[in-house]
Chains A and B, each alone.
Chain A
Amino acid sequence: MSVAPPGESANCVRGDLMAYATLSLISIFCAIPFFWLLIASFDGNAQLFLRWPETWTFANYLRVFAKEDGAKWLFNSLFVVGSATFLVMVLSGLGGYALSRTRAWWKLPFLYAILLIRVLPSTALVVPLYKFLLTLNNAEGALLRPIFGSATRDIMRWTGFIDGYLGLILVLATMQLPLSLWIMKTFFDGLPRDYEEAALMDGATMIQRIRRVLVPLALPGLAASGLFAFMSAWGDFLLPLILLSSPELQTLPLGLFRAFLRINEIDYGLLTALAFIYLVPAVVAFGFARRFLVQTFSGGVKG
């Protein structure tokens, strides 16, 4: 680097100042809405408006867990999204490997198909999806009722397709699959085949090859695939809105949304605390995912 002539450096300083000014304005715009959430959640008498609390307190956060609902929503979200993420990691790991290594005719059509699936708006799919899940659910109910009688509803809460954990987990996982398959396929493309071929020479079976060779090698890719699946499923509002109705199954976004609709009896302290708890995992995951963002957005279609 050479020393810039005097006129140039003045130009450079002015440019830097302009950059600071615009970035500060944009940052304020981006950050302002978060203030209310953060401050009100520690306010003993929280309101809908941003205000400086007279008393700072942790009581709102304690109430989230003392009052049963908040803790239940949190558990439901963690369970449903956790299961879906795990499922996506397993399926995309296996499927991405297959898509990377296969030489079969279906490779290209499949890859184009998952690219195009990502552009389909999920709002346009939920109507037929709901009908289809309702049919599956009724069939399952008809199958289980003669066997389990009145206990059927309790079982269906776990295994039902509508208003049950299983249906929501499967659908949430499926919606994340195209991106995750794409990430894993790209990841395996970058892994040399030598390791597997060596293992194959040694007479390792498919299962052994996956467990001993591929899983350890694929961990960074799986982390990315899992992070994106988690973020997207964690933030999703539409699917729980359509698939869940029982209060005891509600996930965080749904619980928050419905609690907020009860205009007259809103406990802003509790809700902001809950919203903040809901926000934290998303932000943490986003922080971890940051270094993958560029490749993912430019490689596929943004999700």
Chain B
Amino acid sequence: MAKTLQERRAERQLMIVLLPSLLLLLAFVIYPAIYSVYLSFTNEALTGAAARAPRFVGWRNYTRLFNDAKFWNALFVTFVFVLGSAIIGQFVLGLVSAIALRRRLVFRTLFSSIILLPNAAPEVVAGFMWISMLAGGDHATLSRIVSFFGLPTADWLQVFPLAMIIVVNTWRGIATAMILLTAGLSTIPQEIYEAARMDGATPAQMFRRITLPLMMPTILLYMLISTVSTIAVFGLVYALTRGGPGGATELISIYIYNQSFTAYQLGYGAAVAVIALLVSLMLGIAYVRAAKVEI
């Protein structure tokens, strides 16, 4: 295939206009990702002797990791957090909202706007608002709601920290689940429901036999996407609890931050980061393959 001179010049120009983006991504994403693998094999620190002359320590950070109860705790907390907020909380409430919003309701736009609102709030503002919601003492909003129903109040973030951050993250992510699942619902042809109704199917039967099976691909993609993005959650939980009390809400992202910038153990922090990178990357590859993304 002989390319004309003009075509080759055009190709070169295209390469040149893409170059700045490529350089930035190489410098601030690709290089750090590779560099973190290197760092994870050193005893690099932020201060002290190790900061001046870091040494290569082989697999020591990784063996330490596997014997570190706090690392397993962070993995466990992250797992419960993802399961509770992304897989169950956001999914169920998002699906319910998406199905309910398919009806021609009077306040449809109002409802969907309100559900989108938490997603628009910056992480710190969201954390800030929930500190007020969940504060100890009888005046906090949640305590008032709970005591209205005659139930005992508590210092919510101290007594049920993990459950509370799951509630908060569910609150924040209903919208994304709703949007994705609405897109999936709209691909199901209305005629199928008509036919089922003719045959006397109940709404529950239609949901189980039609909606769920036909939505399966969308649901699977949603699960992958939301798992990846929930693993990356940092600011929302950090602003609320900073990982406490006693590591009860120390997500893997917060653990990396604390190890690196509070304990100054960059090498060890990098080893934890490499694990998080690998898990996310595998989920990402699964997503790209499952979604058959058109390029």
Contact = CB atoms under 8 A, between A and B. Distances in A.
B231 interface: yes
B235 interface: yes
Interface string B192-226: 00000100000100000000000000000000011
Interface in A99-115: 99, 101-104, 107-108, 110-115
A91 B20 contact: yes
Contacts of B225: 297, 301-302
Given A36-B133, A242-B261, A283-B117, A26 B97 contact: yes
A126 B124 contact: no
Nearest to B137: A49
A31 B114 contact: yes
B35 A50 contact: no
Contacts of B115: 26-27, 30
A166 B295 CA distance: 33
A168 to B, nearest CB: 11
Interface in B1-22: 10-11, 13-15, 17-18, 20-22
B84 interface: no
B25 A26 contact: no
A124 B277 contact: yes
Given A116-B288, A124-B256, A297-B176, A15 B18 contact: no
Interface stretch (B99-107, B146-154, B156-164): B99-107
Contact of B128 (A47, A115, A256, A283): A256
Q: Could you tell me the dominant secondary structure of chain B's interface residues?
A: helix
B116 A27 contact: no
B280 A51 contact: no
Contact of B29 (A8, A120, A286, A300): A120
Contacts of B18: 94-95, 98-99, 102, 110
Interface stretch (A60-68, A144-152, A170-178): A170-178
B203 A15 contact: yes
Given A19-B100, A30-B114, A279-B121, A128 B36 contact: yes
21 contacts: A15-B103, A15-B203, A16-B105, A20-B107, A22-B97, A24-B111, A31-B114, A33-B133, A35-B141, A102-B18, A116-B285, A116-B288, A128-B32, A128-B35, A128-B39, A178-B25, A260-B131, A283-B117, A297-B225, A298-B180, A298-B183
Given A20-B107, A30-B174, A294-B182, 5 more contacts: A19-B103, A48-B131, A125-B277, A178-B25, A285-B120
Interface of B: 10-11, 13-15, 17-18, 20-22, 24-25, 27-33, 35-36, 39, 44, 93, 96-97, 99-101, 103, 105, 107, 110-111, 114-126, 128-133, 135, 137, 139-141, 144, 171, 174, 176, 179-180, 182-183, 197, 203, 225-226, 228-229, 231-232, 234-235, 238-239, 252-254, 256-257, 260-261, 266, 269-270, 273-274, 276-277, 280-281, 283-285, 287-288, 293, 295
